[in-house]
Structure 1
Amino acid sequence: MRNIRVAVIGAGPAGIYASDILCREHEGATVDIFDRLPAPYGLVRYGVAPDHPRIKEIIKALRRVLGNERIRFFGNVEFGKDLSVDDIHEFYDAVIYATGAIGDKELTIPGIDLPESHGAADFVSWYAGHPDYPLEWPLEADAVAVLGAGNVALDVARMLAKTADEQLVTEISDNIYQGLAKNPAKKIHVFARRGPAHIKFSPMELRELSHSPNVDVFVTEEGFQIDDAGQAEIGKHKATKLVVDGLLKYLESEGTGAPHQIHIHMMQNPVEVLGEDGHVVALRTEVTEYQGDGSVKGTGEFIDTPVQAVYRAIGYRSDALPGVPFDNRDDVIPNIEGRVTDEDGQHIAGTYATGWIKRGPVGLIGHTKSDATETIRHLMEDLDQLPVPIHGSPDAVLENLAAKGVEFTTSEGWDKLDAYEIALGEPQGRERVKVQSRDEMMRVSRG
């Protein structure tokens, strides 16, 4: 097989898994992974709640992949600005786009643009210490509504309900701790359009809601409905049964008198964020009912829940990449099993996609690995058709970036930043304290 050089755009699990699989499948392949952030790991680093150390165990596996001598990491390189499509084809045989999804899916209801209405992805990025987000977050509401029936909604509810001191064992930086310490929220209301058998919580996430001694979890009895389609889901999937059992346990709970409460409301569809004098005062929901196939419709009955802030956690959204085809309806790069296609549906030679930018923001990290396997299988089938780069030297792309004045970091630089964060946490008995400032990240990475 001919030796190839491949560029991967995005250093999250999708891009790293694809790099690993390619290097195992092809002994003559070398990979350069580029990311606009100075640190790798994508949403595992910047999209997972800090009190989820078990999920972050995946970082250990990703780190081992980056230790492969045939894989290089370059951070602080923005695709479309520092590195273009033309650059890619000049220096590489193929490219794999793995930029994921970090934006919030839009919700078009009246009042959603009020100042206390936020996207959950933005809030997650803040408390996860993303360098492109402000150091402060407006936490001023006594009662908060969280819209959504997935794990991100539970993460947001849990982070708003737990005390700041409970987060001091995690990797949060001081500005995040100070922000959470000012949070006055006592009641967090989570709203789902459907009933318990169709909620997308994972059993573990649902159980963790009650692990804090400062939080009581309640499920509203109205809306605890299971139709025939829901019964079938419970019978087919163990995880669904565990979620329903967990919700039933919360339904029957009388609480402990904890100072903070999470209330889960089902069969309620958000229809309006109510405002007064330009500020959020309540969330209006319409009670729903099942139609027999698992879907729901509105009943015409409305409920107003007093809240002073709203977080929509209804899904992530991918962004278009400069010079790369994009499907604005589904917010993905158009592709056939990872082969990127043009407007006529024809495969663009040497161009591939994997992860959420390929299939949309659904599935867990394990799905990302199987997704990458499919994409790499097709790349391997296309080896003889891959275009030959003009400059095949590994140093050519670095010289190009340097000529543009791009201050990029490397795998060695990430090692320095990683060690620095670990050292920051040691005096406090913490695994690490995350650095949020991009300038400081670059300073440490570049020594």
Structure 2
Amino acid sequence: MSALRIAIVGAGPAGFYVAEHLLKQDAHAVEVDLLDRLPTPYGLVRAGVAPDHPKIKAVIRLYEKTAALPGFRFFGGVEVGRDVTVADLSEHYHAVVCAYGAAIDRRLGIPGEQLPGSHTASEFVGWYNAHPDFSEREFELPRRVVVVGNGNVAADMTRVLGLSREELEVTDVADHAIDALADSAVEEIVVVGRRGPAQAAFTNPEVRELGELADCDVVVDPAEVTLDDVSRAFVESDDCTPTSRRNVEIFAGFASRAPAGKRRRIVLRFLGSPVEIKGSGRVESIVVGRNRLVRSDDGRLRAIDTGEREEIECGLVLRSIGYKGMALAGLPFDPDRGTIPNDHGRVIDPGSGEQIPGRYVVGWIKRGPGGVIGTNRKDAQDTVDALLEDVTAGRVPEPSGDASAEAVEALLTERAPGHVTFSGWQAIDRAEVARGEPHGRPRVKFSDVDAMLDVARGQTTAG
């Protein structure tokens, strides 16, 4: 076999870690092409990480080192399923690794969910992060906002809503969002979680940061963080992580803190599930059902509805209850889990249980949404180990067509003539950084694809 040619669909952390592991191993000569539907790489590190978290984005430097390795190419602005199919890729590559994440927000499934003023996390996060899919959205930011969810994305949205102009203007938040956020009418952000404080999915730093905003108090009713018998037993058990125990302590600290009279306030609420969003033409309130925790027969803690109801007036609801992956033509899909069926990254035919040769998955589309950025590194190693084991065992098929790098370039030039190589992305990157320098900001992002392409076209198409 000549050089092993691998296509990776999705240029987020999972895709870059697969590329890194493949290109740094010594057992086989490998060439990797990383494809993404956007002209920009790095996935949620660029478009999902909160703009006031620049240290998390520093991981991009590692991905830049991967991109500099011999055998690496990036093709941005290429959508698999639209410009090329999985079958097309199989003609030119020994294996296709899907790393395209989980882009669909889970639904609450309650009346009023689709009212104007009720938005998904993807919409709002994409809007303030200059994601091209969402930059044209408009958000009415009223006096009270309700955020549904107790994970880090919910915490990020809450914190961004509470940032002062001074805090916003030193970040790479989208230009169009700075004035809207800084000058908004928002006075109160109510965060509603389905389970108790001991089960909240926030990481400790995300919780602490809520209490460190310059112009935003955190308010917690002591009753909200008083543990019931079930939660107390959970906290004392081996099932409770140190992170969860520390969260409980931080919440209790918030509850004992007197508000400082800042411009805005964050109110943390637990054991509440939305049952209806109400309004005449747009969101006017949300009805929340009170829950209690019970331990089911399998030992898991479940939140069950007590029948008690509370209506909270609000003009905006942001829903952050998790994500699901989406199907890609030519591959099996589990609609319940929102993942591609697999065994350690090997794609499996759910009917026969047999491996589909030359098809692999990594990241959220492999295991479901969860973990932090670094979780993808070990996950990628798991998939790469399986792929290389299959190569050694002769289970990876030869491409059915021309497997040369030139053939792929010709195909993509025909199907996606505006595609962006890594050198094109570097031109976009330099331009964004230059736009930010006069304002003391790390960058001012382009949110329009055509503008990005105009910058990228000034560079060589090789790369």
Matched, 1:154 2:161: no
User: Offset of 1:224 from its aligned partner?
Assistant: 1.9
Matched, 1:288 2:291: yes
Question: The residue matched to 1:45 in structure 2 has which SS?
Answer: helix
Tell me how far apart the structure 2 counterparts of residues 220 and 268 of structure 1 sit (CA, whole Å).
14
The answer to whether the 8 A contact 1:104-1:122 is kept is: no
Partner in structure 1 of residue 461 of structure 2? none
Tell me how far apart the structure 2 counterparts of residues 381 and 296 of structure 1 sit (CA, whole Å).
43
Question: The residue matched to 2:317 in structure 1 has which SS?
Answer: strand
The answer to whether the 8 A contact 2:163-2:182 is kept is: no
Matched, 1:406 2:417: yes
Partner in structure 1 of residue 90 of structure 2? 89
Tell me how far apart the structure 2 counterparts of residues 323 and 182 of structure 1 sit (CA, whole Å).
48
Question: The residue matched to 1:118 in structure 2 has which SS?
Answer: strand
The answer to whether the 8 A contact 1:145-1:190 is kept is: yes
Tell me how far apart the structure 2 counterparts of residues 314 and 409 of structure 1 sit (CA, whole Å).
34
The answer to whether the 8 A contact 2:78-2:416 is kept is: no
The answer to whether the 8 A contact 1:6-1:94 is kept is: yes
Shift in alpha-carbon separation, 1:200–1:234, aligned structure 2, 3 A: farther
Matched, 1:350 2:358: yes
Tell me how far apart the structure 2 counterparts of residues 13 and 233 of structure 1 sit (CA, whole Å).
34
What letter corresponds to residue 71 of structure 2 in structure 1?
R
Query: RMSD of the TM alignment (CA)?
Result: 1.6
Q: Pick from 226, 241, 249: which aligns with 2:253?
A: 249
Tell me how far apart the structure 1 counterparts of residues 190 and 174 of structure 2 sit (CA, whole Å).
27
Shift in alpha-carbon separation, 1:234–1:255, aligned structure 2, 3 A: farther
Shift in alpha-carbon separation, 1:175–1:96, aligned structure 2, 3 A: same
Farther off after superposition, 240-249 or 163-172? 163-172
User: Offset of 1:234 from its aligned partner?
Assistant: 7.9
User: Offset of 1:129 from its aligned partner?
Assistant: 0.6
TM-score calculated relative to the size of structure 2: 0.93
User: Offset of 1:54 from its aligned partner?
Assistant: 1.5
Matched, 1:380 2:388: yes
What letter corresponds to residue 426 of structure 2 in structure 1?
D
User: Offset of 1:3 from its aligned partner?
Assistant: 2.7
Tell me how far apart the structure 1 counterparts of residues 237 and 225 of structure 2 sit (CA, whole Å).
15
Moved >4 Å (runs of 4+): 233-236
Partner in structure 1 of residue 222 of structure 2? 221
Question: Deviations for 1:133-183, whole angstroms, at most 9, x for unmatched residues?
Answer: 233422232101100010111111111122344211011232122332442
Farther off after superposition, 92-101 or 224-233? 224-233
Tell me how far apart the structure 2 counterparts of residues 421 and 255 of structure 1 sit (CA, whole Å).
39
Partner in structure 2 of residue 434 of structure 1? 445
Structure 2: gaps (5+ residues): 459-463
Matched, 1:366 2:395: no
The answer to whether the 8 A contact 2:126-2:135 is kept is: no
User: Offset of 1:27 from its aligned partner?
Assistant: 4.2
User: Offset of 1:278 from its aligned partner?
Assistant: 2.1
User: Offset of 1:111 from its aligned partner?
Assistant: 1.3
Tell me how far apart the structure 2 counterparts of residues 129 and 375 of structure 1 sit (CA, whole Å).
31
Question: The residue matched to 2:371 in structure 1 has which SS?
Answer: coil
Shift in alpha-carbon separation, 1:397–1:425, aligned structure 2, 3 A: same
Question: Deviations for 1:51-100, whole angstroms, at most 9, x for unmatched residues?
Answer: 11111111111111111121111100011111211211110000100000
Tell me how far apart the structure 1 counterparts of residues 102 and 417 of structure 2 sit (CA, whole Å).
24
Partner in structure 1 of residue 282 of structure 2? 279
Question: The residue matched to 2:54 in structure 1 has which SS?
Answer: coil
Equivalenced residue count is 446
Q: Pick from 417, 434, 439: which aligns with 2:428?
A: 417
Tell me how far apart the structure 2 counterparts of residues 279 and 422 of structure 1 sit (CA, whole Å).
39
The answer to whether the 8 A contact 1:342-1:348 is kept is: yes
What letter corresponds to residue 385 of structure 1 in structure 2?
R
The correspondence of residues 327-346 of structure 1 with structure 2, limited to 5 A, is 327-344=334-351, 345-346=353-354
Partner in structure 2 of residue 322 of structure 1? 329
Question: The residue matched to 1:82 in structure 2 has which SS?
Answer: coil
Farther off after superposition, 255-264 or 168-177? 168-177
TM-score calculated relative to the size of structure 1: 0.96
Question: The residue matched to 1:285 in structure 2 has which SS?
Answer: strand
The answer to whether the 8 A contact 2:339-2:368 is kept is: yes
Partner in structure 2 of residue 204 of structure 1? 205
Question: The residue matched to 1:88 in structure 2 has which SS?
Answer: helix
